[in-house]
Structure 1
Amino acid sequence: MDNSPYNRAWSSIPGRPSFPGPWGNICKVSRAFANYDTDLDLLIKGVLGNGKSIRFWLDLWIGMEPLMARFPNLFKLESAKNYFVADRIASTSYGSTFTFTWNRLPTTQQKTDEYSSMLGLIDTARLSSSGDKWCWDLDQINSFSVKSIKKKLEAQVLFLAWRANLERLPTLASLAKRNIQVPSLLCPFCGLDVETPDHIFVSCSTAQGVWDAISDWCRLPGIYLFGVQNIFRTPEFLHGSSKWKKIIHAILCSTVWILWKTRNNKIFNHKLKL
């Protein structure tokens, strides 16, 4: 196996979205979470036991991120990137000892600083005879639940919807009002009008196309909007149960989220994908 960090996207999930079966589905879910600024890798944390199932560099087990992300220069020097914690740390009566297999020694100032910081971090790690465990970081009892991830995603979507409703999003027009220089005030989607919340979510031709598609998908008589606030009041004028109206409200909030994320992707990454 080629362990070069340049030839492979290292991840704690052993698969790709194109893979058939459960690992491919998990990768797709992980990418879906990324659309909501949620890194699935950082929600699953290893609790060290004997260190035989937690990968030293790739898995999150100490600190707030995997060691490969915290110490990228050392990770590039490591020749065995898939090794487990037990392959790197040995506990003795005098403390812990560490063993690494470098392609070349970390001799530059930057790399020696990283090495010192890493040793200070992992020096507290102690192996035991019990097996390693995994905990879910969104739940107080550290066990996975659909409810916990649903709450996190809902909170992020609703927070953005709340900011949009109050016109507190950092649109190009609002940035200019704060005397922040922007290359252009025009909408990144259509390029025909100043980017304000009402334009990007309502009057822009891209937004109108999205709302028409949502209307057809939900079999609504039509979504007629005159401003951002109309988006969130739409369920009030629909016929149906309160549960149905809550579902529509969630869809509308999620659509606002997707439009904003797509807008950011267009501006910062020069990509447009709805």
Structure 2
Amino acid sequence: MAWVKWDQILLPYDYGGLNVSSLKLKNYSLLTKWWWRFLTNDNALWVRVIKSIYGQSGGLGCNSPLPATKMKIFSGRNWSQIINIDQTPSKLGCNLSNVFVKDVGSGLDTSFWNDIWIGDLPLKDAYSRLFRLEVFKDATISDRITITFDSPVFSWAWESQPTWRTEDELASLTNIIKLHKFSNNSKASWTWKHNSNGAFTTDSLMQVLTSLTAAKLPPSSATDLSPFVPKKVGIFIWRAKKNRLPVRVKLDRKGLDLHSTRCPVCDDDIETLHHSLISCKFASNIWDKVRRWWKFNQLHLTNLSDIASCSNPKLVTTLGVSIWQAVVWVTSYYLWIHRNNCTFGKNIDSAAKIFSDIQGKCFEWINCRWRKGALDWLSWITNPCRFDSIFTKNGIG
């Protein structure tokens, strides 16, 4: 039974996920690197072979390299699969044909109408009426434009004189070209839009696809994982914060036939996540023991978000808040373990035993993960707020 969307789990921590890298997006990024290699290695033997089969564009992007009848012959080839990888990124909003930008240089090896060199579409699609009037449909940029004193001079070849409809397109096209900045390079080159240095990397494409995936999911705050507890505890809190734990009320709503929806621990109320972790009599008893252990007047735990944030006005240092967060998270984790033991009839410990386990496990986990000092057990169980005496090597930082 799925409780959280898999796409949400795959997202990095900054997007509210669990930073499980997507093999699917990684595969797309690695295959896209072949696009970059094809575009930037004109003289390579394998590139010339691909062009001899699929045309000068190699079949990449929106240019059709072969007639449909011939395309079937090569549909099972490896390069055909590389051509078709554009479909999934395009669904996310990343059209690979538009993110590779071509610097045409002198324009000798760039098609004026068929290649994407200005705007997001080939000029044959953006100005279809003019393209129908073109005599030489494979004309290069140098055939149509000559740069003199930084100003383009046009050399058109029309089958018939443009009418009033196509004159508007022609005026629009010439204005766009006049605004285009032509480089002094003699040879065409390619740049990748999503990298400051213009070079393609698989990591940069992964970041783009990840951000586009996150944009299609409901907004979520960044995932907060405590440095003092194991990741399994952090993931438990992450699920609790999203209210995605299998309490009986949720199982009943999903259609499971349960003998009861009441709390398996106290049997006093319907089992919701708030009840299991906060308002249950047993949970309240544990939280009261934790409050007296830390010598707090009261605990600010009224809802699930308080468990995730773990704010307390008595704690003023970052280190103190982090350690208190670890204690709250471990306490919630042990309350859930106790709930599961009651549900499945396993060994049920007393409140005193669970509280002792919480103290011991917090001491063990924090001690193992705190690299700058060591916890003193006596200070830990008597007055954990005295951090200057808890850390025997280094005090509060």
- Compute the TM-score of the two structures, normalised by the length of structure 2: 0.35
Structure with higher Rg: it is 2
- Compute the TM-score of the two structures, normalised by the length of structure 1: 0.49
Q: Comparing both structures, which one devotes a greater share of its residues to helix?
A: 2
